[in-house]
Structure 1
Amino acid sequence: MTSSRPRPPFDPELSAVLAVLGDQLPDLTPETIRSFRAQAVNPMPLTEQLLGEHGVTRRDLAVPGFLGDDMLMTVLARADHIGSGPAIYHLHGGGMIAGDRLLGLAPMLPWIVEHDAVLVSVEYRLAPEFPDPYPVEDCYAGLLWIAANARQLGLDPDRIVVAGASAGGGLAAGIALLARDRGGPPLAGQLLLCPMLDDRDQSVSTEQYDTGTWVRAHNRVGWQALLGERRGTGTVSPYAAPARETDLTGLPPAFIDCGSAELFRDEAVGYASGLWAAGVQCELHVWAGGFHGFDLLAPHTAVSQAAIAARDSWVTRHLAT
């Protein structure tokens, strides 16, 4: 069903990209989650050649997740890294149902090189096989582990920035709340890129965008897989859906961005407003005409270049302190 609401148009360059993608975007229903995973591709794969060009090394570790079950982590650092540098704790996107720890890492390689940062990315378990609270608790267990093993990893536990896009952005916000409420490791910042924050499906932007890359029907599938019959009810934890949190005081400074032409627009803006109301520093960017994940799928476009530059600037300011 096509939305009857008027909506901001896609940026012309991005609209051309969507036209090329066309039928390449996989279908998603509750019944096709497994095939959706199989068809989904990383548009910027983290190859050995790419790592070599940046002078970055990779190692993979098995660490304890939620309830002590093992999960994989990938650790990236400069080949000449010594001592304790700032850290980026990365949580991948994929609508809570897809993706892996290597998704979205390639654009972060310059942060490792320029700031001698250590990047750690976690393979949290996916819904529906592992519904809430598994994904967010896996991610929080990973945060506890890297803080406890900071010396082994070559990072400073007081300079950890948590980062994620889409579902990863929602999980990043969720573990920032968990760290605050449980007295966990202090975070130096939270980088929330087009974050998936609200299961209630009630915003104007969710009604507007039934076209693009990640649309309303997809979003319902993702939240249903994570929450089951609790989706949209009063029983959902703010750690799973951070937009439900009414007290955002005491959280680390945030960077939030999204496109004006995506369904997560209003929840991203609302979360930024909540942070400001709670006295938390937050930088918000809403990129005109951007669809969900535009910067990863079309990094060559002018709006993507502007978004990447703004993000890089924030990271520089927060990793350099």
Structure 2
Amino acid sequence: MRGPALDPELKALLADMQLSTELTPEMLQAIRQMPSQPFKTDAERHDVTLGEIELTVFRPKGITPAGCVYWIHGGGMVMGDRFSQIDIPLQWLTELGVAVVTVEHRLAPEATGTTQVEDCYRGLLWAAGELGIGTIVVAGISAGGGLAAGVTLMARDLVGPRIAAQVLICPMLDHRNDSPSSRQYEGVPGVWTREMNEFGWRSVLGDATDVSPYVSPALAEDLSGLPPTYVDTGTAEVFRDEDVAYAARLWAAGGDAELHTWAGGFHGFDAIFPDAALSRRARRTRTEWLARKLSG
């Protein structure tokens, strides 16, 4: 079953990348040894260690932050660090005047079950209690988007901290990995395929049958009482259908949710190629939504 066509500009950019269908333990080890991508910022920075996890706080210079974005990085639950895709929230820092807290949670397969979402929730509690910023937005991309959804569910169920909004960028929400869009990207070399997704989920869950909705938020029976939510995804990616379904379930529960499904976008397209025309549109739309929620 063939998936939707890629955006022509993104397709041309992808042609220069070495793509695969699978992720193996050996490939993962090699990826983990690669250095973090460099980034530039004029923001004030300090690092915090909370037991097994680390946080970095970025603050805009010379102003009182308009809010705090708690950022959770992507990487399929198995790779990445707190500076992965950091340019996305740092753009919000520059344009919207928010502080950014980014969390380095433990990774699978070393950390399994609910460990990662509990790490992220622990960091969120610290940020809410120590920074003195009342408005907190939880945001994440890919696996980080799934963890952001799980943390937001956890904050609702444990009665705090209060989250003003959540931004879920191409989130990894459903361990069942059996949607039509997932099957469309099976056996097809790409940035994130059905086979890679299976590797990531198996690394977290093993053969477990009792899966927490905090880990796989698509399992949550009740999506009421959640904060305003932004969900975006591409039409040409594994997570398309589970992301659309999550937004629809938020609406069905009476929630405030905005969904954007970018035609021709592959998984994480605007993180990988931020200067492509479709990426600029996606980032601008997301930033404008967040600005409205912060001002409201």
| Residues 1:37 and 2:32 are matched in the alignment | yes
Q: Distance in 1 between matches of 2:201 and 2:25?
A: 11
| Residues 1:317 and 2:292 are matched in the alignment | yes
TM (norm. structure 1) is 0.88
Q: 2:41 aligns with which of 51, 63, 70?
A: 51
Q: 2:127 aligns with which of 114, 130, 146?
A: 146
Q: 2:183 aligns with which of 207, 210, 217?
A: 207
CA contact (8 A) 1:115 1:320 kept: no
Q: Distance in 2 between matches of 1:292 and 1:41?
A: 20
Q: How does 1:113-128 map to 2 (within 5 A)?
A: 113-128=94-109
Q: Mind listing any 5+ residue stretches in structure 1 that lack a counterpart?
A: 64-68
Q: Which residue of 2 aligns with 1:66?
A: none
Q: Mind listing any 5+ residue stretches in structure 2 that lack a counterpart?
A: none
Q: How does 1:46-195 map to 2 (within 5 A)?
A: 46=39, 50-52=40-42, 56-63=43-50, 69-82=51-64, 85-151=66-132, 155-156=133-134, 159-195=135-171
| Greater fraction helix | 1
Residue deviations 1:203-256 (CA, integer Å, cap 9, x gap): 0000001332011111011000001111xx3x1110000011121000111000
Residue deviations 1:32-80 (CA, integer Å, cap 9, x gap): 43223224863xx32xxx213xxx12111112xxxxx342101011121
Q: How does 1:13-32 map to 2 (within 5 A)?
A: 13-23=9-19, 28-32=23-27
Q: Which residue of 2 aligns with 1:280?
A: 255
How far the C-alpha of 1:81 sits from its partner, in A, is 3.1
- Aligned pair count? 294
Q: Identity of counterpart residues, as a percentage? A: 47
Over 3 Å counting, the alpha-carbon distance change for 1:27 and 1:40 in structure 2 is farther
Q: Which residue of 1 aligns with 2:213?
A: 238
| Residues 1:223 and 2:201 are matched in the alignment | yes
RMSD (Å), alpha carbons: 1.6
CA contact (8 A) 1:162 1:190 kept: yes
Q: Distance in 2 between matches of 1:244 and 1:192?
A: 16
Q: Which residue of 1 aligns with 2:246?
A: 271
Q: Distance in 1 between matches of 2:263 and 2:35?
A: 26
Over 3 Å counting, the alpha-carbon distance change for 1:26 and 1:198 in structure 2 is closer
CA contact (8 A) 1:26 1:39 kept: no
Over 3 Å counting, the alpha-carbon distance change for 1:122 and 1:15 in structure 2 is same
Q: Which amino acid counterpart does residue 12 of structure 1 have in structure 2?
A: P
Q: Secondary structure at the match of 2:213?
A: coil
CA contact (8 A) 1:174 1:239 kept: yes
Over 3 Å counting, the alpha-carbon distance change for 1:174 and 1:97 in structure 2 is same
CA contact (8 A) 1:13 1:301 kept: yes
Q: Distance in 2 between matches of 1:108 and 1:81?
A: 17
Over 3 Å counting, the alpha-carbon distance change for 1:301 and 1:180 in structure 2 is same
